[in-house]
Amino acid sequence: MNKEAYIAYLQSRKASNKTNYYLSSLQEIDRIRKDFDHKPKILLHACCGPCAGWPLEFLHDIFDITIIFNNSNIYPEKEYTRRLEELKKLLALKGYDDIQLIVTPYDNVSYTRELEPMKDDPEGWERCFFCYRKRMEEAYRYAVENHFDYFTTVMTISRQKDSQKLNEIGLDLQKKYPSVRYFCSDFKKKGGQVRRDEIVRELDLYHQDYCGCIYSYMQRKKEN
């Protein structure tokens, strides 16, 4: 990893004006209420049950939601299955019978091969940016092929993930695939993170202690 480049990135992030994507989400909801006489279809990328709980409550009255579980980053397979099962448990316990769940094929071997050149990057930098974009773009293409109105991801709820970057990627994908609109978000804001934790407790959801890939798994093992 290039340490100078990482430090320069952190400094540039601190100095730059941050966009309030929570406000953008409220503005978009206002626009939808004016422009649509029905619930628009949104494809929601979800990485696990705990992170999906609050975004689902936030979006459920506005959108006709389909969830896509596209997360080949998760290592090992047992953990992938557990996170998927917790997402199903959330949907069942919340009574979201109207929400369809799409599960894309799992291939952690190929995914890890692609991450490997960035394995020494600190969490929250280029390996993660690659990982955000890869999963989001694959899911975005599904949204395009299946004629969704909107796409978004629950990942902005995580304090460990860079919401500015996630939204920049989403807006970039909207430019590339203009038939689907990207719904900007910052789900952690305005009590979102607190509500997330409440839902985890209320439903007794399993809450993982590392992000997902083998590198974050090994890092957490080292720390414990």
**Adjacency order of strands within the sheet including 181-182:** 100-103, 64-69, 41-45, 150-153, 181-182
Residue 158 interacts with ligand SF4 (CB under 6 A): yes or no? no
Which residues, 6 or more positions from 189, have their beta carbon under 8 angstroms from its beta carbon?
22
Shortest CB 161 distance to ligand SF4, Å: 7
Residue 170 interacts with ligand SF4 (CB under 6 A): yes or no? no
Instruction: Out of 79, 114, 123, 168, name the contact with ligand SF4 by CB under 6 A.
Output: 123
Instruction: Out of 48, 68, 199, 213, name the contact with ligand SF4 by CB under 6 A.
Output: 213
As a whole number of angstroms, the distance between CA 46 and CA 24 comes to 20
Question: Which SS3 state, helix, strand or coil, does residue 76 take?
Answer: coil
Closer by beta carbon to ligand SF4, 97 or else 120: 120
Residue 128 interacts with ligand SF4 (CB under 6 A): yes or no? yes
117 and 111 Cβ atoms separated by less than 8 Å: no
Closer by beta carbon to ligand SF4, 125 or else 182: 125
Alpha-carbon dihedral sign for residues 63, 64, 69, 71: negative
Shortest CB 211 distance to ligand SF4, Å: 3
Q: How many residues bind ligand SF4 (CB under 6 A)?
A: 11
Residue 166 interacts with ligand SF4 (CB under 6 A): yes or no? no
Residue 136 interacts with ligand SF4 (CB under 6 A): yes or no? no
Segments in 146-177 forming alpha helices (H): 163-176
- The residues pairing with 101 across neighbouring beta strands, listed in sequence order, are 67
Structural tokens at position 82? 């557990």
As a whole number of angstroms, the distance between CA 129 and CA 126 comes to 5
As a whole number of angstroms, the distance between CA 70 and CA 105 comes to 8
Closer by beta carbon to ligand SF4, 131 or else 143: 131
Residue 211 interacts with ligand SF4 (CB under 6 A): yes or no? yes
The piece of 1-9, 25-33, 181-189, 213-221 that touches ligand SF4 (CB under 6 A) is: 213-221
Closer by beta carbon to ligand SF4, 45 or else 127: 127
Side-chain-side CA neighbours of 77 within 13 Å: the count stands at 5
Residue 73 interacts with ligand SF4 (CB under 6 A): yes or no? yes
As a whole number of angstroms, the distance between CA 159 and CA 186 comes to 10
Closer by beta carbon to ligand SF4, 24 or else 112: 112
Residues that bind ligand SF4 (CB under 6 A): 73, 115, 123, 127-128, 131, 211-213, 215-216
